[in-house]
Structure 1
Amino acid sequence: MQDNAMSKWLSPLMAFCVSFIIIATLAPVTGIQIERQLDFWLLWLGTMLILALPVCYLEIALAKRSKTTAVQALSTLTRDADASPKWRLVGWLAVVFIPFLAGGMLSAASQYVGNFAVNGATTYSVILAVLAVVAFALSLLPRQVLILITAVGVLAALVLANVMGTTLPAWQITTLEFSEWGNATVLALVASGLGLGLYWQSSIAAVKQQEIATKTVFPIWIAQLLAVVAFAFFAAKAQVPALALALSLVTGAALLIQMAREQLQQRQLAVVVQWLITLIAVFVWAAHVMVPVFNIALLIWGLMICLIYAIFAGWIMKISHLRKSMNFSNEAFYNIWRIAVRIVLPLSIILALVAVIGQLF
């Protein structure tokens, strides 16, 4: 009962913090902080409904079905679906992506620290290496402590950004472009931490007790939505809120590193291999010249994971398995979700991939 009660507040709080700091990491990559385009933000909120919500249901349904973390669960899920073991690759793509994303967050934190807190002679690579060492050390703390520290950092950054009088540009309405669909999809899925099994992993205790998936899904999704709204009124232009955000980015990275290592541990990999995978995925970001390439890789890699999960859950798994896991009160809700996962999600992600890749040329 204690684990269940803890999951009820831990997963939504984690969802808010993780979503906010990943948005802060990816926002400069997508360029959404250059102008406050009301039409784009409305598009983003729309994708949170039609894309992020179905994926959130997907994660929790798979958690209810497997009752274990993603990498470990896919062995059972593919056998239940009489599917090729090749589908298990998505779990490995996600578990390696998690520390790689943590490295991206540390990269963003390094830039904030470099801009506001240290002498210009200190190089980006040195700052990132120091922050990475701190993140790995913090990853040994209990998860509840990491989430609370991250939450304090996020809330401090939000409050201080407003108290210190950061002026935001006025909202404006512009013509929507095709590239903005790609950015909105990235921010709704990748920036929400969906497809990585994080909420799957943090909600296992709760889903073992709850028969209806919605009771777990909605608090997480609402928390993600609140993170989007909060970011609309945030800018880290002053030193203090920027450093508060940098603190939350470091502790958030520590949280992701811990969760990735936990999944690898459940696959019974050697401790040395667990640390080696996470260390390499994080420290590759120390190569400053490669950061633009890594940023694009974050967008494409994250979208590909969501695409594979959507195809696996929508087309490969047996209908009865996920229907029973979600336990909707009305069959129509399940049919709507299934259409979203089978058709809307894959097509939307493919269009987003085309848009993201198109921006490179």
Structure 2
Amino acid sequence: MRSRRSVKVAALCAAGVAALAGCGGGAGAGNGGDGIGVVTGVYPLEWLAGQVGGEHVEVTNLTEPGAEPHDLELTPRQIGSVSSADVVFFVHGLQPAVDDAVEQEGGDNALDVGDIVDLRPATEEEGDAHAGEDAHADEGAEDAHGDEDAHADEGAEDAHGDEGGEEGHGHGDTDPHMWLDTDRMAQAAAGLAERLGEADPGNAADYTANAERVAGRLADIGTEYTDGLADCESRDMVVSHAAFGYLADAHDLHQIGVSGIDPEAEPSPARLAEVAELVENDGITTVFTETLTSPRVAETIAAETGAETAVLDPLEGITDQSPGDDYPSVMRANLEALTGALRCS
């Protein structure tokens, strides 16, 4: 099972037998560290917690650098850090192991981003292809993306990258990749500042000021996207998995995911053929790959259609292969990749 043994071990820790169980809390997770202990599930939230908390917090991220966060498995020590943290900052539905640990061990310290910002539906156009130029004639209408109703009734098998009954490893009804929308990130910063202020009232003013500062940085990035993507020959971005729905919604782009929300889901042959036909018919010049998942499928479609490949990073983690070394630099690298691929002026 995904994390049941780990949860049982964490229960032993709570019973005071940590030495026998091999347990231990994370650094700065409320076990005598110098600051408020914040545990995060994925890199963008780790970055945001560091920005908002500043010198007053010690942030522990549960996903190791270079690991694919969707399939995270937690060690007993990591589950212990969830239990002992002052704040657990996570997106419910992104990482089932984190959800399980929060449910079993988190208590009142959990702060779900979905309780701060509105999350978009996971099934909204995820993986759907549209049918040519007429698809953009009436944006927002059901027919605008190639007979949405027909795709919605297919059990997500073809239209959503063959996710099947797994719902994208438990993503459920919402898309967790909210950090690709700078406005939602700013809202999350404000919510985190409020929670940190409750945990540490003496530094509440600092948390609020930090959240306002990072909101300004995020607004600058959002403005760069708005300006950079204002005038483009294409608004279709073909991506390895449908992680970019928030970015597409915010900047009037159309996401075409080869796979759905889950990056590990294998697209069906029918889906591959559908996307390849769309690339050829609509004159799409670029198929985007990622840094943490295999580029094989995207490269196959590109080779069959004569398109190029380029990296569009979903910012699920930072590695040596990432196009930047932190959230702002990767967001700006993504903008550069988009403006080139979509032929923006």
TM-score calculated relative to the size of structure 1: 0.24
Task: Please identify which structure carries the higher helix content.
Answer: 1
* Bigger Rg, structure 1 or 2: 2
Greater RCO, 1 or 2 (C-alpha within 8 Å, sep 6+): 1
Question: What TM-score do the two structures reach when normalised by structure 2?
Answer: 0.25
- Structure with a larger share of its residues in strand: 2
